């Protein structure tokens, strides 16, 4: 059985000839919470876009489940739809809350047969706001709608790009609880990009440090924080890295 959802081999990404990502090897296991930490500009979000097939790599191979892709191979829609991203900003459509949550189902030609929109809204604690226009929500509520919009699609992989940055502690706690539950009860693989090392420590099974477009170290959460093998990881987790 294939235990990896992603296997990356010599993946690079360049814009206008400038290389911003160089990942020699990276494997992400099915059902794990994998956290990418590192300073701004380290290539974490670029890597997420590649994992969501929003952009092709400039070179290298990405194996997703049992299918391998390179720079010039379009990813079939059915595979692309098994992954989704919750971005740092909620990026809601100018519609009602429930219409936002139902949006992805509509793209798939589904008409919410099992009342999944209501279930997802219940899961994020926003049932009462279903009819409200999304743009009237607070930051925390909006991000929970963005999460419900992803949950309702039942993805194999959920990519989270700084999902709790700029949120209050209550909403941070709530979102962490929801994604943890998703991982534990539905076995959804989570890839979490965060600046917050404490969040990575709380949620992740494995953590990777990225610096200047490269993966410096990948380790299980305990090893990463307690006994890092790379001095840069040591400096990063101690908060001694200035960036």
Q: Judged by CB under 8 A, does residue 89 bind another protein?
A: yes
Q: Judged by CB under 8 A, does residue 40 bind another protein?
A: no
Stretch binding another protein (CB under 8 A), from 23-31, 57-65, 73-81, 175-183: 73-81
Report the alpha-carbon distance of residue 39 to residue 211 in Å, rounded: 7
Q: Judged by CB under 8 A, does residue 133 bind another protein?
A: yes
CB of 87 to another protein, least distance (A): 6
Report the alpha-carbon distance of residue 210 to residue 124 in Å, rounded: 31
Q: Judged by CB under 8 A, does residue 84 bind another protein?
A: yes
Which residue in the set 153, 167, 182, 192 belongs to the binding site for another protein (CB under 8 A)? 153
CB of 49 to another protein, least distance (A): 7
Report the alpha-carbon distance of residue 111 to residue 95 in Å, rounded: 17
Report the alpha-carbon distance of residue 158 to residue 76 in Å, rounded: 18
Q: Judged by CB under 8 A, does residue 54 bind another protein?
A: yes
Apex 156 CA angle, 124 and 140, nearest 5: 25
Is 89 or 232 the residue whose CB approaches another protein more closely? 89
Helix/strand/coil percentages in the chain, nearest 5: 35, 30, 35
For helices 116-123 and 97-107, angle between their N-to-C axes, nearest 10 degrees: 130
What is the binding site for another protein (CB under 8 A)?
A: 49, 52, 54, 77, 80-81, 83-85, 87, 89, 91, 93-94, 103-104, 107-108, 133, 135, 149-150, 153, 159
């Amino acid at each position: 059985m294939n235990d990896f959802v992603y296997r990356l081999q010599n993946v690079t990404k360049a814009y206008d000839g400038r290389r911003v990502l160089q990942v020699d090897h990276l494997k992400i296991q099915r059902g794990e919470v994998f956290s990418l930490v590192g300073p701004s500009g380290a290539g974490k979000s670029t890597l997420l876009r590649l994992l969501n097939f929003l952009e092709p790599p400039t070179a290298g191979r990405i194996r997703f489940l049992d299918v391998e892709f390179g720079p010039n191979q379009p990813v079939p829609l059915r595979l692309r739809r098994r992954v989704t991203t919750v971005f740092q900003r909620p990026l809601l459509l100018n519609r009602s809350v429930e219409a936002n949550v139902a949006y992805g189902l509509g793209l798939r030609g589904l008409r919410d047969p099992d009342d999944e929109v209501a279930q997802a809204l219940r899961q994020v604690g926003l049932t009462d706001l279903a009819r409200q226009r999304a743009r009237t929500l607070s930051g925390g509520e909006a991000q929970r709608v963005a999460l419900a919009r992803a949950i309702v699609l039942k993805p194999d992989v959920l990519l989270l790009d700084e999902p709790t940055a700029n949120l209050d502690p209550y909403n941070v706690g709530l979102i962490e609880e929801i994604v943890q539950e998703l991982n534990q009860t539905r076995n959804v693989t989570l890839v979490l990009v965060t600046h917050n090392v404490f969040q990575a420590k709380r949620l992740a099974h494995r953590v990777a440090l990225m610096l200047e477009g490269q993966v410096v170290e990948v380790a299980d959460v305990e090893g990463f924080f307690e006994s890092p093998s790379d001095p840069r990881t040591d400096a990063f987790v101690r908060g001694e890295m200035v960036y």
